[in-house]
Amino acid sequence: MHGTVWTVYNIAVLYIGAVIGAGFASGQEILQFFIVFEKKGLWGIVLAAALFSLLGGLVMLLAVSVRSASYNDVYRLVMGRIPGRIMDGLSLVMLPGGLVVMLAGGSAVFSEHLGLPGWLGTMLIAGVTIAILSRGLKGVVTANAALVPLKVAVILLICFLTLIYSGEGAGGEINHGSSAGSRVNWLWSAILYVSYNMVVPVAVLSSLGGKVTAREGVLGGVAGGIVLGLVTAMVYLAGRIFYPQITGYEVPLLYIAGQMGSVVKVALGPLIWLAILTTAIADAHGFASRFADARTRRYKLIGTALVLMAVPLSTLKFSYLVGMLYPLFGYVGLILLIALLAVLPVKIWRRIFYKSV
């Protein structure tokens, strides 16, 4: 990774790619965590963007300070030896679990939205993920540099067209009982959203600790957080126009795209698949880099073995896997969020003034 601007860009897209998965690209996450709170949801997005930027910058600063090669180095420093081991064990369950969910999601997109055999969607994600991992960290970075801007651009285009051409105001009468997200307040919902989405990004960003400078890392983490906030805000604004109608759809953004015409709607299916792919790559990379340097043959073998073992499990129903594994992601993410916000600033302060970063 050479050149400050290019390095900052790559860090930012790795961060964004790890967060914008199927749930985000479908619009369902933004609906559940923000849109249901009407105008207050926008304040939630501001808070989430601030937390994403702060945490992205802090994680990269810490990763660089210890020249980390995997998330385990960061966990041990932030949480200590025993809690760090526990968190490591949970992550070793979550990352493969997330990969299984992504493979199942690839099947669902192909069968339900593209009218193609579901197994084809799963095998394509598995094959592309293995091919990218075979090129090590360079392959992961290159894939995200190419794919993340594409999916962000499509999401922004759909939302922009909605805001420009829709003659309606923001949603009709609000049905507060229509969404699970309305059972908590906007502040707690924003915090949960960030915690739920931080485990995979930490696993990915931590693998860059020995490859970049502190300045590049912080700028990339902060930039990624800002872009995440802006994209979330655009989805929120577009979704508000069709709220509460969109609460009746599994893929709210697909409904919104449909209002812009069939061409825009058809383009969304491949977008969601791409979102699933980048998250699958992040899950597999985070797991493999825990056990081996991304430049080694061992890293490639571990990544390939993980993907191949995940394929049979991905035959389980996508919604079932999400319902079973995502609550665990939320709880573990909350533990990590608390640890980062409470412990990390102290660790960084000491390192800056006593050991130097």
Instruction: Give the tens place of pLDDT for each residue, 257-307.
Output: 777 777 777 777 788 888 889 889 999 999 999 999 888 999 999 999 999
Question: Could you tell me the fold of the domain covering 4-355?
Answer: Hydantoin permease (1.10.4160)
Among the listed residues 4, 6, 24, 5, the one whose alpha carbon sits nearest the alpha carbon of residue 16? 24
CA-to-CA separations, 63 to 72, 208, 249, 259, 281, in angstroms, rounded = 10, 7, 40, 44, 20
The pLDDT value given to residue 172: 44
For residue range 138-194, list pLDDT tens digits in order.
899 999 999 999 889 988 988 888 888 765 444 444 444 444 444 578 998 899 899
Instruction: Spell out the domain ranges in the chain.
Output: 4-355
Q: Write out pLDDT tens, residues 247-257.
A: 877 678 877 87
3-state secondary structure of 317: coil
Q: How far apart are CA 245 and CA 249, in angstroms?
A: 8
User: Is residue 53 over pLDDT 90?
Assistant: yes
Give CA–CA dist 88/289, Å, rounded: 13
Q: Kindly write down the DSSP assignment for every residue of 194-207, as one continuous string.
A: HHHTTHHHHHHHHT
Q: Which residue carries 């896997």 as its tokens?
A: 321
Q: Are 34 and 28 in contact (CB under 8 A)?
A: no
Between 226 and 328, where is the model more confident?
Answer: 226
pTM of the model: 0.84
Q: Which residue has the higher pLDDT, 356 or 17?
A: 17
Q: Is the predicted pLDDT of residue 320 greater than 90, yes or no?
A: no
Average pLDDT of the residues in 340-352: 65
Burial of 123 (0-12, 13-18, 19+ CB in 10 A): middle
The residue count for the chain: 357
